[in-house]
Amino acid sequence: MINLEVPKKARALVNQAYQAAAEVFRPISRKYDRAEHEYPTELDMFAALLDGLNSSGEGGAGAAGVRRDDKDKSKGNRNGANLNVALGTIEMCWGDVALLLSMPRQGLGNAAIASVANAEQLKRFEKTWAAMAITEPGCGSDSAAITTTARLDGDEYVLNGEKIFVTAGERADSVVVWATLDRSKGRAAIKSFVVEKGTPGFEVVRLEHKLGIRASDTAVLRFDNCRVPKENLLGSPEVDTKSSFAGVMQTFDNTRPLVAAMAVGVARAALEETRRILGEAGVTIDYDRPAQTQHAAAATFLQLEADYEAAYLLTLESAWMADNRQPNSLQASMAKAKAGRSVVDITLRCVELAGTLGYTEESLLEKWSRDAKILDIFEGTQQIQQLIVARRLLGKTSAELK
């Protein structure tokens, strides 16, 4: 059974992540929000730090994978890499979510590699910084509608297509690209490929200007007869219509809890800042009195804090299940849906509670409210998560419940 306390062995990691967020991320947060597309050079030293944590076996605030083929069948609870990563991510995003997304070798593509790559690929790509390219101009929430193609030609796959809204698409060393081997076979033919920067036919078309997470680059990528070694296909090249595209979808079992953790970190930051502002204004938040008997601002704060706690616990549950080799697709979507919706509501309401302080750049509250919206969109929108949860709970297929 999951223990709701932070595991003892993770406390040192949580403290390290918090110190990094407080001492480095927070002080430069506003700087790189204003300097969109400028690479935060202060982050380079953290890549080495996290590499050391990961190689020591302690895990870090970076990308881990949900792997079902481990031979460790030991009984009892396991608090492993996935829970550690979630806890570390919460702390780092308390500092700045865009700066975490900008950290070398901690991309969402790294989570895809960690989840579905074989042993040889894990070793070969262990030092790469991988972005993840799924969304296309005509394909957003429905990943099965991907039109980017991959055709086997000798010892190479030839990729053709365009990807949009790729986080770290310009800065990363490589990109995990979702493409179809045969469009006539639907979902089952969708595979993921590691495409390294500098590969002929791979072009970064442009960078997007965004509402939030402005310190993180978001790119449009084009693949024009881009040839990659067939060994760069992650997982099995076989098209199995019975298992559909469960292999590549397994990636989401890991990345959705991570995005939920990002949302939890931003929400906590907003709540802590709002508590400070309310305290300075003389508003007392009393946990021993009913909300309706307190100041209206205190009652609203208590409601928001309860929402935060629910998102936090769902996030930890989905990560804990992955560590304990339990299928967590339902819980991952529940955590992502709850945290994504909550962080948007919490940050906007905190801006309201803070009044003029919340709306100006005197506080980071207005920035957090802008950063929050993407956390309800990427890795599957709010509406898609609710649809997935409904299918799981009702036992319906995607064809039966659209």
What is the predicted pLDDT for the residue at 44?
A: 83
Mean pLDDT of the chain: 89
Residues 157-164, mean pLDDT to the nearest whole number? 98
**How far is it, in rounded angstroms, from Cα 76 to Cα 114?**
24
* pLDDT more than 70, % of the chain: 88
Tokens 């901690």 sit on residue = 106
379 belongs to the catalytic site: yes
How far apart CA 164 and CA 205 sit, in angstroms, is 10
- The tens digit of pLDDT for each residue in 246-297 reads 555 667 887 899 999 999 999 999 999 999 999 999 999 999 999 999 999 9
pTM of the model: 0.92
Helix H or strand E encompassing 160: strand 156-167
91, 136, 273, 379: the active-site residue: 379
Q: Which residues contact 318 (CB under 8 A, 6 or more apart)?
A: 256, 257, 260, 328, 331, 332, 334, 335
CA pair distance 171, 69, nearest whole angstrom: 32
Task: Name the band, by pLDDT with cuts 50, 70 and 90, for residue 7.
Answer: confident
Q: Which residue has the higher pLDDT, 113 or 351?
A: 351
Complete domains list, the chain, with CATH: 8-124 (1.10.540), 130-234 (2.40.110.10), 246-394 (1.20.140.10)
From 155, 123, 148, select the one nearest 133 (Cα to Cα).
Answer: 148
The total number of residues written for the chain in this structure:
402
Residue from 57, 55, 45 nearest 20 by CA: 45
Q: If DSSP codes are grouped into helix, strand and coil, which group holds residue 151? A: strand
Return the pLDDT at 114: 84
Distance CA 123, CA 371 (A): 34
Note the pLDDT of residue 63.
52
| Per-residue pLDDT at 121 | 94
289 contacts 299 by C-beta, under 8 angstroms: no
Is pLDDT larger for residue 12 or for residue 252? 12
Residue 310 pLDDT exceeds 90: yes
Please tell me the predicted confidence (pLDDT) of residue 58.
46
Whether 129 has a pLDDT exceeding 50, the answer reads: yes
CA distance 9 to 12: 7
pLDDT digits (tens, 9 = 90+) for 204-223: 999 999 999 999 999 999 99
Record the tokens describing residue 333, joined without a space.
């979507």
Any idea of the CA torsion for 139, 144, 147, 148, to the nearest 10 degrees?
100
Amino acid 285 reads: I
Q: What is the pLDDT of residue 56?
A: 45
Nearest 5°: the CA angle 140, 146, 217 is 55
